[in-house]
Structure 1
Amino acid sequence: MKRYKRLTTAVLAVALAAGIVTGCGSSGQDIGQDEAKRIAFEDAGVSESDTSRLKVEKDRDDGMLQYDVQFSVDEKEYSYDINGANGEILSADVETNGTAAQNNTAGKTDDTAGTNSGTDDTPSTNSGTAAADVAVSEADARAAALERVPGATDADIRMELEYDDGYYIYEGDVIYDQKEYEFEIDAQTGNFLKWSEERH
């Protein structure tokens, strides 16, 4: 019986030691935010100076260290998931002007098209935005949102005029200095209906 206990203790000790060693090994492998950004920029064929709305998040998915790298260049929005241990690109998506993603998500185009053709509100909202009868201009709403984020510029903001429950609202977000701010502004009064800040 004593021999069995000793053997069990020895096996547990070895297993524990192996776990610690492998744990140290995997947690020690971290390419870092700068390398994750470099990999994403290289794949997209851009340099960091070309980008705006840059956001890098470190995360774990099923125990795997990942970096989520998001940025905009002109009218395109890029989103990358990168393996934090070896730098492998796990997924890469590009969206243009809010349209469906072009890479790795071909099925999404059909879904969006189906949604637009199936609802009467969506096309009229999108096409009628320019002629919408609102008291607050898009420029004023943008200025009000940017005023709340010192240092942010027009390149850091994305905003749309939406028609929701009989009201026009400006809905959008500002991504600046590794922080994301989401907002909704009443298009008639200019009051902020929502303002939230997410730190990274």
Structure 2
Amino acid sequence: MKKFNGLSKGFMGVATVACLLFAAGVTGVPYYGSVGTEAVGVAKKANKANKTKKISADKAKRIALGDAKLAEKDVTFVKVELELEDNRLVYDVEFYSGNVEYDYDIDAVSGAIVSADKDIENYVIPAQPSTEAPTKAQASEISVEKAKQIALSHAGVGSARFTKAKIDYENGVKVYEIEFKVGNMEYEYDINVLNGAIVSSSAEIDD
């Protein structure tokens, strides 16, 4: 009878160890004496962290392209950046296709489309830095000196003191932003870089 009791105790010990090892395996937490609420809590936090893992920037691009029903080869990406909006991490995805500009906010965790917008205008895709030879369009761009002359001619003056002459973008159109003064008059012009057209102009008395 004593022998039976010894075997029974041994079997119970093995069963207890096996149960503890199984519990440790289920929670993913190493067993160091007992499997209590603290160990389970650690496991739950680890699982929660895994569930909130961010999607990649490439995944965000594919989601935006899928919604726009466009292939990557047919668009030019301007921006794919991770930003914080209203305490939510989102990918700000912007791209062009033809004369349409697309702007998406993609939830960085779930991949859900937070917002989507597109504008159809006479856009010229912003030039990207390149070491390649100038394209035909770039070669046909007017010079900044030409833009200055167009502005002076429109203002009806022969010479002026220029305070600004730089390339900028106005509603997606590449322009020369020209500013100059003649006496107490201040002039501002936006000149289309491709064809020299005056996009906007203003003149005011400088106090």
TM superposition score category, shorter chain reference: 0.3 to 0.5
- Could you tell me the TM-score, scaled by structure 2's length? 0.41
Tell me: higher relative CO, structure 1 or 2? Use CA pairs within 8 A at least 6 residues apart: 1
- Could you tell me the TM-score, scaled by structure 1's length? 0.43
